[in-house]
Amino acid sequence: MVNKSDATAARPEREVILTRVYDAPRERVFKAWTDAKQLAQWWGPHYFTNPVCELDVRPGGTLRIVMRGPDGVDYPMKGIFREIVEPERLVFTNIVIDQAGNHLAEGLTIVTFAEHDGKTKLTVQTHMVVLVPEAAPMLEGMEAGWTQSLERLEERVTNTAEQEFTFTRVFDAPRDLVFKAWTEAERLTHWWGPKGCSIQVRKLDLRPGGIFLYSMRVPDGREMWGKFVYREIAAPERLVFVVSFTDEAGNPVRHPMSPTWPLEVLSTLTFAEHEGRTTLTMQAIPLHASELERETFEAGHESMRMGWGGSLDQLAEYLPQA
């Protein structure tokens, strides 16, 4: 017979400590951890989404998150906030559960935020104990999962509201059709790109981690290449992807007319339908960009508005005959 203390001692456990410096004030970084809408945008490894993200940010308050993997599998977790010192420190339990609510693993996470010269040093210390043998493999992925989460957090906090590009357009068409126009190769060839340009779809793999690779011929005969790398696909409501100019092989290259343009831009599209019409909202922020690249992006908002306006004019013309 194994007594309770022996069984507890045999449970595998692991601690991970990660430190990262963000080019953002700690109030902004702290809010990204405590605002449910923001947390849902970055929590979890690459290509994961969070269809459920609920936070009651107070000592004794609960958190509940359901991560969804690229394969559609859900990974629920819950916890309780133990300590909140704004904007310096967060302590919360994190409990991995199955679909029936059974505890698979339990842990404690301590997050500290230290500011210096407008930047934030973030330290995450998390300790996890596995309660059932089948959950043991998750310990191997702890560090990689947290590392990717903190990379995604950087994408959110290093761009100010002024640097984010937003654009809204209403189409006289149902959103199923508008969504298909963005995600089907044959439809994209009818409207994608600036006016006067023609495109060829070289590859379209519509899945998280998949790519849309295209070539575009401009009126003077030059050929340019670009791609999307899909992060999130929730048909027909939402698309998230990383945009870049590329070479023929799909490797990111500098903007052909702006050497300080960010190599990668994260774009989020939402599609909302009302009485048969679709409101498309576009948001874009530079990724892993230098200060100069972020300034170039912000200065380019008006030209982006004109460029996107021309492309979406072509989409509006195409939809009635689609």
User: What is residue 145's predicted lDDT score, i.e. its pLDDT?
Assistant: 94
User: What is residue 2's predicted lDDT score, i.e. its pLDDT?
Assistant: 37
- Partners of 68 in the beta sheet? 49, 74
User: What is residue 5's predicted lDDT score, i.e. its pLDDT?
Assistant: 46
Main-chain phi, psi angles of 237, to 5 degrees: -100, -30
pLDDT digits (tens, 9 = 90+) for 288-298: 888 899 999 99
CA dihedral 18, 20, 26, 27 (to 10 degrees): -70
Predicted TM-score (pTM) of this structure: 0.77
Is residue 253 within 8 Å of residue 245, measured between CB atoms?
Answer: yes
Helices (H), 4-160: 4-10, 26-34, 36-42, 142-157
Sequence-distant (≥ 6) Cβ neighbours of residue 7 within 8 angstroms: none
Cα angle for residues 207, 36, 244 (degrees, 5° grid) = 35
Cα angle for residues 53, 59, 62 (degrees, 5° grid) = 30
User: What is residue 210's predicted lDDT score, i.e. its pLDDT?
Assistant: 95
pLDDT digits (tens, 9 = 90+) for 5-50: 444 456 899 999 999 999 999 999 999 999 999 999 899 998 898 9
Q: Which domains does the chain have, with CATH numbers?
A: 4-154 (3.30.530.20), 165-321 (3.30.530.20)
Low-confidence stretches of the chain (pLDDT < 70) are 1-10, 160-162
Q: Which DSSP letter does residue 275 get?
A: T
Read out DSSP for 54-104?
EE--STT-EEEEEEE-TTS-EEEEEEEEEEEETTTEEEEEEEEE-TT--EE
User: What is residue 161's predicted lDDT score, i.e. its pLDDT?
Assistant: 66
Structure tokens at 118: 């407008």
User: What is residue 162's predicted lDDT score, i.e. its pLDDT?
Assistant: 67
